[in-house]
Each structure stands twice: as C-alpha cells, then as structure tokens.
Structure 1
Amino acid sequence: MKTTIEIDEEKLGSIMRMTGISTMKEAVDWALNEAVRIATINHIMENPWSPEEARNAVDPDYDIIAIRNSSVPVKYQKKPRAKSK
C-alpha cells in the first residue's frame, strides 16, 4: 500500500546503518516486522498459557525422534567446473 507519512530521518538512518539495509522501504518493512515480533512476545508474556493449554498445544502423536530418523539426508553434488580456455 502506498502512503505518505512523516518519518524521523535520524531514526530511519540509524536503522539503515545498524542493519545494513539500503532502502527506506526495506527499513520501514524491517521496523514493522520487528514491532510485530516484539508485540507478539509481549502479548505472550502478559497472557501465559495455563498448564492445560500448554498440554494441548502439541499433538500427542508428535515424535521428533521418529521424524529425524525417517528423514533422508541431503546429498550435495559438486557443481561442474567451468572449462578453462
């Protein structure tokens, strides 16, 4: 969505320098994502699950060991070398 807003240029510049982000659009998007992440963490901390909710959060049939043992390892192939002239 396109919109016109006033942004504190010093704060925007600080974000861009500290993160290495090169465009204002990317910096604003990064800042919004960080704000959502922090707000989510704060919400979870202020509203912890009850023991019952925690027990029901994971499927009882979930078995990480079985999943790890059944997965096929990735095989990496060498890239063909460029022929020298």
Structure 2
Amino acid sequence: MTADDIKQCIADHLACEHLVVDGDGHHWYALIVSPAFEGKRAIQRHQLVYGTVREHMDSEALHALSMKTFTPAEWVQAQQQNN
C-alpha cells in the first residue's frame, strides 16, 4: 500500500477536513481532522479510523498505522498554539 491508498481508504469512509498520511511502506502515520470525532474519546476515534482500513490490516497489506485525531475545533486550537 502507498500513502495515497491509505488516504483514499480513510477518506472514502470518513468525512475529513484535513488528512495527511506519511510513512516508509511498513509503518504509517496519519493526521486526521474530522467532525466524526466530536464527543469521542481517543480510542473511539482510532477505532473509527481502523474500521476504514481493517480489510488491509487483516490481509497484512498495512502493517502499522499510528495516528493523531482532531475535531475541527481541536485542530484550529492546535494550529493557533503552534503559531
């Protein structure tokens, strides 16, 4: 799988306002901003994302995916803190 493949899987199943996927072909990192994360704890957010790529993880095409998840409001706040 490529970063674009993973990005497409996530975007096909989860409304994202911002989505970045990067990695080395074995270990992947995703930054995801979605209104679907509103009111959800981190584990619930990760479960939502893993649900979008599960078939690829089950087939071992995708070995490891770490992620940071934000609601749109959290993302705005994080951006303001970084400036």
Normalised by the size of structure 1, how large is the TM-score?
0.25
* Structure ID, larger Rg: 1
RCO higher in 1 or 2 (8 Å CA, sep ≥ 6)? 2
TM-score (norm 2): 0.25
